[in-house]
Amino acid sequence: MKRTITTGAALAAAGALLVGCGGGGPSSDGGKVSDDKIVLGVLTDLSGTYADIAGPGSVEAVQMAVDDFKKKYGDKAVTKNIEVIKADHQNKPEVANTQAREMYDRKKADALFDVPTSSAALAVADIAKQSKRLYFNTAAATTALAGKSCNPYTYEWAYDAYMLAHGTGAKVTEQGGKSWYMIYPDYAFGQDMQAKFTTAIEGAGGKVLAKDPTPFPSDNYSTFLLKASGMNPKPQVLGALQAGGDLANVVKQYEQFKLKDKNIKLAIGLMFDTDIKAIGADKLAGTMFTTAWLGDLDSETRAWSDRFKERTGKRPTFDQAADYSAATHYLEAVQQSGTDKAEDVSKKLDGMKINDFFARNGTLRTEDHRLVHDAYLVKVKDPAKVQEDGYYTELVNTIPADEAFDKPSPDCHMS
């Protein structure tokens, strides 16, 4: 069943929710919410490498969605009893496994959100399938969530390694960066990124001279940067596929080792405005990367970003914006089905057309539960052009939804 959800800037500014889903209240088939309660769990990195990207901000984004849902429906809400719970998975798959079981089984979570670190995200997908509860990943880039590890209970909402690679990898190569040396964190995220970037670079006529896994997390990349400067032939591009605090360490040491002066350009696989602030726009000016969302794309995205900042004191990352979007659509699907039974909620979600403040021209694919939507190739502004804290990038090109993401994988089997 397909439904379309749209937003307007005025509604976003006023704190209203997405509209266009139809009437409220339980469905006529007698469905109901178990225990008259909906529990949304945010499983995230609350204090580590990815805490600024996701972390407490992701918890607040989901709570925003709940508050707006209650405001929209009032007494017509399928239930007024909606709780947000949180847990720290410490970027470890074994901890994520344990926490997901705890949230689903003991704390009765109906759906989980966020989950940075691809190895942790894959572990949670397995638990979601076993528990027959829904899971919306917004923070992990691995394509396996919509590929060989896909299942009827897992949705991938924001981005993946294919989107990042076929934006940044292809474009940098087309602009003359033909030879690459890549360094990537040695776990599922980095391994998938390395594979997708290699494909994109070679498809654009480039060559990967070497690629090395790096420890995760790490604060010392000197061995790899020295290798880059001493290679023969010398690479034109250093592809840094780290993220969060690790990326900040790579860029700072790239500066220290003066690789730019040696005509080795820096290409970044995944970056957020929080990273730019931590590293410094002066060190990244002109650097291009691909992102799933821009907080200052237009009045609608700005309105939501302003609301988030009012609550948290910080501008949101695209992961946090995606958490709000995913939680909102989940609650809308519960409202329309009149039940929190995962299978019934999925029937409302599958095939849905989405055009909200986060996802433009979006479709929630039934085949693999991947939300495809427009993506954006951006570059870091010169510091002199940064007029507002938190808005450090400018749009280079919009990548249409049907180009931004890969076709459904033959490895995905929903049964």
Burial tier of 137 (Cβ tally within 10 Å: 0-12, 13-18, 19+): buried
Side-chain half-sphere CA neighbours of 69 within 13 A: 31
Contact residues for 279 (Cβ-Cβ < 8 A; gap 6+): 247, 248, 251, 252
Return d(Cα 258, Cα 89) in angstroms, integer: 36
Quick one: 81 exposed, middle or buried, by C-beta within 10 A (0-12, 13-18, 19+)?
A: exposed
Residue among 87, 111, 145 at smallest CA distance from 331: 111
Residue type, 65: A
Query: Considering only 16-30, 73-87, 296-310, 317-331, which range has the smallest mean pLDDT?
Result: 16-30
Tens of pLDDT, residue by residue over 336-384, are 999 999 999 999 999 999 999 999 999 999 999 999 999 999 999 999 9
**Segment 244-256 mean pLDDT:** 94
Q: Burial level of 185, CB count in 10 A (0-12/13-18/19+)?
A: buried
Q: Once rounded to an integer, what is the mean pLDDT over residues 170-177?
A: 95
Contact 113, 99 (CB under 8 A): no
Pure H helices in 110-169: 118-131, 161-164
pTM, full prediction? 0.91
What is the arithmetic mean of pLDDT over 105-121? 97
pLDDT of residue 31: 62
> What pLDDT shows up at residue 338?
96
Backbone angles phi, psi at 283, to 5 degrees: -80, -15
| DSSP bridge partners of 214 | 185
pLDDT reported for residue 415: 78
pLDDT of 116 higher than 80: yes
Given a cut of 90, whether residue 11 has pLDDT beyond it is no
Q: Residues 58, 323: contact at Cβ < 8 Å?
A: yes
Query: What domains, with CATH codes, occur in the chain?
Result: 4-159+296-369 (3.40.50.2300), 162-291+377-401 (3.40.50.2300)
Q: What is the DSSP letter of 183?
A: E
pLDDT in tens, 19-45: 334 334 443 344 699 989 999 999 999
| Edge-to-edge strands, sheet with 154-156 | 82-88, 38-44, 111-114, 134-137, 154-156
For residue 362, what are its two tokens? 């979006």
